[in-house]
Structure 1
Amino acid sequence: MNSYKNALNPVILKDLATAWLREDLPNFDLGAVLATDEEVVAKIYCKSDGVLAGIPFANAVFTELECSPNWFFNEGEDLKGSPTTEVAYVGGKARNILLAERTVLNTISRCSGVASVAKRIKTKLDAVNWKGYVAGTRKTTPGFRMVEKYGLLVGGASSHRYDLSNMIMVKDNHINLCGGSVKKAVSRVKEVAGFVNKIEVECRSHKEVVEAASAEVDIIMLDNFSPKDAKASSLWLKQHEPQILIEASGNINEDNVINYALPSIDIISMSCLVQGYKTVDFSMKILTPQ
């Protein structure tokens, strides 16, 4: 089982945990008068089927509040919600566990939701022996991108580019700003790309595909192509410019993704991996002292 926690900057994790806790408690927590500094133990339960993800983010929150979690499962493992599954024990002061509760549950439920849909789709594509990459897009929740992109990795998908500084993607609006000329747009970005930045062009038609190919780009995205048109354009590219990676994107979901799993398609990117996903249901309960 791969672990991706070391890919996360511990300073960023600490900053995220602090910001989330401040958001949830900007001033008084009057309900905490019922809590104490007594050391207690709580359990985290999973109440719906899914893939566990987001442990490093939960641990960062617990660390800020001097709580000690003990996880019973590794990230990437499948959890059952019926009957409920005990996922972790957490020890700490009662008031601190209550302060951590909702932030931790919100984080792992969403991260696990992304990992779950990613794993389902990856499994479906593996079943038809497709060898390409399935990737999440940049349509993430503002302020929550690191968690959702991390969930993709845990679920077996590619995170695609993380932000605007990763790779140069020439999109439709860039082309429009260059008078509709793909070649002009690519020529301008090549002036600043240097030797470390790949260039991808989002193409809306086969005509733009041909133009992008002649501009010697690294990746061509077939944007909102039907499976039939994607097959035709990708086969043309493999015949004429085999070094160019081909990405299919736009209106691709769990129901139709198999239609794009063609030998001539290298990447399938999907916004449904990070937008509109179903979360995994977790809860936390403080154990009653015996």
Structure 2
Amino acid sequence: MYFTQADIDQLIIEDLPLHDETTRALGLPDVTGSLTYTARQHGVLAGMAPLLRMAQSLNLRAEPLAADGHTTAPGQDVLRLHGPAHALHIVWKQGMNLLEYLGGIASATRQMVDAARAGNPRVQVAGTRKAHPGARKLQHYAVLCGGGMVHRAGLSETILVFAQHRAFLPGLDVAQLVARAKAHSPEKFVLIEAENEEDALAAARAGADGVQLDKMTPEQLAALVPQLRALQPRLTINAAGGIRLDNAAQFAASGVDVLVTSSLYNAKAADYGAVMCMDSAQIAE
């Protein structure tokens, strides 16, 4: 995923709207030193890519010791930054936020992917666009680091017809909705959300590219999926609603292709430590 300079500047400005009042008030000397981030628990690393770009923007020299997507162990150093003390203090907490919050999401994603694939080795776990406002790109990146996929990056990406759309088109049935969508956007994937068996089967018969089965139980899905496959073998079948780590394997075993969830964004943050020190040469001075 590409992070623009504007993305990186916003991360810096969020924590540095004007200046660092603590370093100013203390008269902190702007001598060189280092900042080391260390994992305190097992997990999956995420947030390194934007953190490295932050360091580059602040003219810090980065020494990455692990990469996004790698597993971490307690006591493992993942990144060491070198440079002026003032810049180290600017990057310190915001860098910690990236590693901890994104690492939590990546770790939760990896756990859910592993659990789901115990029920179906080919299933995918997808994070929705129901991310925290302003943080979607970062949270989607964390899902990717954890081995998941992005369901929809935004409204422009694919066609997903919800009941909320159908409320404003009461004269059109599922087949007409699919036909209209394909006529106006022939290059786009057309996905119909279905809350019942009737709508799901109608979407498959109408030639939808996919159906998203909302709030159905694993047992309901297991009964419906073979019927949908019989109508359209290449149909993409998503399950959404109520999918958690403790039931992911059951949902996956129903035969669906994708488990769609927003629960990953509420994962507990990872735990990292950070240690700063002044360069020994300058201590000697």
TM norm structure 2: 0.91
Determine if the alignment matches structure 1 residue 143 to structure 2 residue 143: no
Query: Match for residue 62 of structure 1?
Result: 55
Question: Deviation of residue 289 (structure 1)?
Answer: 4.8
Query: For the Cα contact (< 8 Å) 2:221–2:254, is it kept in 1?
Result: no
Which structure 1 residue ranges, 5 or more long, are not aligned? 1-7
Task: Tell me, yes or no, if structure 1 residue 187 matches structure 2 residue 170.
Answer: no
Moved more, 69-78 or 122-131: 122-131
Q: How far has the Cα of 1:72 moved from its partner? A: 1.4
* Residue aligning to 1:157: 148
Distance 1:151 1:261 in 2: 22
1:169 match: secondary structure: strand
Contact kept, 8 Å, 1:130 with 1:262, in 2: the verdict is no
1:130 Cα shift? 2.5
Query: How far apart in 2 are the matches of 1:238 and 1:211?
Result: 13
Percent identity over the alignment is 25
Q: Distance in 2 between matches of 1:43 and 1:62?
A: 13
Aligned residue pairs total 277
Q: Give the Cα–Cα distance (whole angstroms) in 1 for the partners of residues 87 and 51 of structure 2.
A: 13
After the TM superposition, which residues 1-150 of structure 1 pair with which residues of structure 2 at under 5 Å, given as runs? 8-10=1-3, 12=4, 14-33=5-24, 34=26, 35-81=28-74, 84-150=75-141
Q: Secondary structure at the match of 1:178?
A: coil
SS of 2:253's partner is coil
Say whether residues 1:227 and 2:197 are aligned partners.
Answer: no
SS at match of 1:18: helix
In the alignment, does 2:250 pair up with 1:259?
yes
Deviates more, 1:106-115 or 1:92-101: 106-115
CA distance in 2, matches of 1:184, 1:178: 10
Shift of 1:106: 0.8
Query: Which residue does 2:270 correspond to in 1?
Result: 280
Amino acid at match of 2:99: I
Q: Partner letter of residue 178 of structure 2? A: V
Shift, 1:257, TM fit = 0.9
Deviation, 1:56, is 1.0
Unaligned runs of 5+ in 2: 281-285
